[in-house]
Structure formats: structure tokens, C-alpha cells
Amino acid sequence: MPSIRSAYTDSIGFFGASSPSALVEEFGTPLYVYSEKILRERCRELVSMCKTRGFTVNYSAKANTNPALLAIIREEGLTVDAMSPGELHMDLLAGFDKSNIFYISNNISPAEMKNAIAHDLLVSVDSLSQLDLYGTLNPGGKVMVRFNPGIGAGHSKKVITAGKETKFGVCPEDAEEVRKLLAKHNLTLAGVTQHIGSLFMQPDGYVAAADFLLGFVENLPRDMREHLEIIDFGGGFGIPYHKYDHEPRLNLQELGASLDALFASFIEKTGYSGRFLVEPGRYVVAECGLLLGSVEAVKNNGPKRYVGTDLGFNVLVRPAMYDSFHDVEIYGKGDAADRQEMVQTLVGNICESGDILAKDRTWPEIHEDDIVGVLDAGAYGFSMSSSYNTRCLPAEVLIPLEGKPRLIRRRQTLDDLTATLV
Ligand code: LLP
């Protein structure tokens, strides 16, 4: 099947020796497709961005927890986080050692905290009350505390995770309260963590927040900072979603050089010899993932042209939830030159009018039986998918460096949907 709009994936050889139509024929749609080549490239860029000893890239698994991808990420030398028993389960399945898993929690139950402690993980707590709970469950243990640097950033209000308007982190002004709780339970502060929000394209805000955290640590009383092993600056590294507009990439070299400079001065002032963590999720996995869907119907509602697909917001919720932009490719029969350019809106098969994947885009006319490919769907795609309208979760396929595409998660069945009924 020739392509109508595929310049981007063509330029990077995304499908390798396979093709969208071959994948759809073998595995059906909706289908998440991942490129091992691109995943490894992104991991390597991150691992080499800073030169400081102790610099560590901690993959934030919430973006995508498929163990086949996690195993590749592990092979590339990244550590991993977990924020739920499910994520921890996947990290372990992928072969991560417990010393390379960090439990970055938010409002967890005593049972969940006990589970993380039983696995011997370093846990980051997110409030004074959770620190007190941790101390009760693991007196004499090691703990990390998440602070809120007061500087937030993000592509949508819903993903800004620092500043007064969010539920996250302990206020720096509460450091003395943290100290009292540490003493009460004989805990060692082994790490400080933060995360200011998701998707920045300019390094400034992240660097300013990192500077803040290091200054804050430097000014902590000696007994609070002398056993620190981890300083975690969080994730948020953006990727260019506007591929067809040639949106520039985040400048990782510039970001890395700024961080290295901060680390060097901090080490000089404090003698710190522990690790510096960055915690990207999206940057690692977004671009290696593409979502294939089938065009089931086209229609004109007055002046509006709708293209109806099987990619409802149950499969990819980002556009409906955050108004996020994803570029779309079109794979179909015939010649692109024969297709008139027109404004079209790509929608799914969910019974809500907000079920819109891409609004008012100018593309060559899409036909029934075309396949569409949603770019940059590897992060917060499958991991945020749901069974809304009682639809089955999609399948996932990996295009390996060599050999044939491999199913890494089968499509759900109706039996799966009823498996938990009693
Ligand atoms: N660390 C912590 C503590 C986090 O909460 C997050 C993301 C990350 C790291 C990784 O952030 P990233 O590098 O992926 O931006 N569902 C939204 C993004 C929500 C991010 C939540 N926390 C989206 O689809 O854009």
C-alpha cells in the first residue's frame, strides 16, 4: 500500500523492513507499534547528556510500562521509577535490580508502602504525613522526601506539578518539620526529589529548579544532608510533537552542560559524592511509538468533514484530555497527487463528542479503508488507555533491530473483560 502522507516515518525508516499495511494485516488495529532503534537512540542521548560522575537517567515508567520496552531501557543503563505496585511489578518483570528501582510515591496506603519497603526500595514520600507513616512502618530506615520548589512548568495546567496550585511535594519551609520526623523515627534522609511538570522545550525552568534544589540542600542542616545519596530533579523533557512543521528539538547538550556546571559547583561546595538523577518518561518512549488505526467511515456534517476511525480516546486520551497535538500520517491506495487537500477532523468510535484525535487539519483527502498513523504515541498512550465503552485494550508490537515485528502485548479479548467479574 503506497503512502499518502508518510514523509516523517519514511525519513527515519520507522517501519524497518515492515510496513503499516503488513502490520495491520498481521495484528489488526488499534495497534501500538514501537521501534527498538529509536528507543535505544533516545536512551543513549539522555545517558550521554551530562558528564558528571553519579549522573543517572531514571526512566519514569508511568509513560509506558511494557516490560519488553523496559528491558531495552534497562540494557541501555537507565534506572527506573515506580509509583504503584503495578509499575513495580513490571519493573521487576523487566529484570531491574531493586537497587535500580526508586519508588516515587504520592498518597499511598500503608499496605502499598509496606510493599515497597518489603522489596527493599528507596521510597520518596510526598508529605509530612506520609513521612510519619513511613517512619512508623520502617523505623531506622532510609527515606527520600519530595520537595516542591515553587517553580512549575508544563504543556497543560493538568501536568504542572510544582508551585502552590498542586498537590505535590513538601514546602521547603517545612524542612524543620521533616527534620523532627526524621529524628522521631530515627530515619536517614537518603534522597531529595522534585518534579516541576511535564513537557518543557527550553532548558531554563528546569535548570532554575535544579539550582533551587541544590541551593536548598546546601542550606540544610548538616545532619540532614550528610547521608544524601540521591538528588532527583524530576522529568518533563519535551519532545517535538509538530513533526511536519519541523519543530526544533529540546537542546539536550545545552541542558546537560548547564546541569554539569551546577553539579560541579555543588560538589565543590559540599563534597557530595552521591547520584544526580533526571527522571524523564516522555523523552525516552514517546517518539519510538506510533499508533495505527483503521478508517471506518468518512462524512460531511455541513461544512465539516469527519474521518471516523477505531482510535477513540479509550486508546489515546491525550488529545481529549489535554488538547494535545499529535501529527498524523495517512497510508492508503493510489497516488497522493490525486487526492485533494482539505480540512478534516479525525475522530474515534466512542459515544462522546469530545472523542477527537486531531481537529481541523489540512491533509490529502482521507478515504475509507485508509490506515492512519498517530505519531509520538509511545508515552502516555497505552499506559493511559482504558476500556471505556467496554472496548478491549489494544495490542502492542515491537519492531526489533533485526528480524520480524514481535507482538509484545496481545489484544484484549471479551474474556479478559469479564475475567474479574464474580
Ligand atoms: N517524575 C515524576 C515524579 C512524575 O510525576 C513524572 C510525570 C515524571 C517524572 C515524568 O515526566 P515526563 O518526563 O514524562 O514529562 N499524562 C501526561 C503527562 C503526565 C506526567 C505525570 N508525571 C501527558 O500525557 O502529557
Protein residue whose Cα sits closest to atom 6 of ligand 1: 235
Same domain (yes/no): 57, 186: yes
Q: How far is the CA of 199 from the centre of ligand 1 (A)?
A: 8
Q: How far is the CA of 163 from the centre of ligand 1 (A)?
A: 16
Task: Indicate the angle between helix axes 175-184 and 128-137, nearest 10 degrees.
Answer: 10
Q: How far is the CA of 388 from the centre of ligand 1 (A)?
A: 23
Instruction: Tell me if 200 CB under 6 Å of ligand 1.
Output: no
What pLDDT is stored for residue 1 in this prediction?
A: 59
The answer, yes or no, to whether residue 2 has pLDDT greater than 80, is no
Same domain (yes/no): 21, 52: no
What are 283-305's pLDDT values in tens digits?
999 999 999 999 999 999 999 99
- Residue that terminates a domain, selected from 241, 260, 286: 286
Active site residue 288: no
Percentage of residues of the chain with pLDDT beyond 70: 100
Select from 356, 349, 354, 346 the least CA-distant residue to 392.
349
What pLDDT band is residue 4 in, cutting at 50, 70 and 90?
very high
- Beta-carbon contacts of 223 under 8 Å, excluding residues fewer than 6 positions away, are 179
Same domain (yes/no): 21, 124: no
Protein residue whose Cα sits closest to atom 22 of ligand 1: 198
The answer, yes or no, to whether residue 153 has pLDDT greater than 80, is no
Question: Number of folded domains in the chain?
Answer: 2
What pLDDT band is residue 405 in, cutting at 50, 70 and 90?
very high
What are 206-237's pLDDT values in tens digits?
999 999 999 999 999 999 999 999 999 999 99
What pLDDT band is residue 199 in, cutting at 50, 70 and 90?
very high
- Residue that terminates a domain, selected from 236, 266, 286: 286
Domain extent at residue 361: 3-34+287-418
Same domain (yes/no): 240, 350: no
Same domain (yes/no): 22, 65: no
Instruction: Tell me if 65 CB under 6 Å of ligand 1.
Output: no
Mean pLDDT of 133-153: 94
What average pLDDT is seen over the chain? 97
What are 310-345's pLDDT values in tens digits?
999 999 999 999 999 999 999 999 889 999 999 999
Same domain (yes/no): 48, 80: yes
Of 43, 288, 351, 392, the catalytic one is 351
Same domain (yes/no): 319, 233: no
Mean pLDDT of 121-143: 98
Task: Indicate the angle between helix axes 67-75 and 85-93, nearest 10 degrees.
Answer: 60
Same domain (yes/no): 408, 330: yes
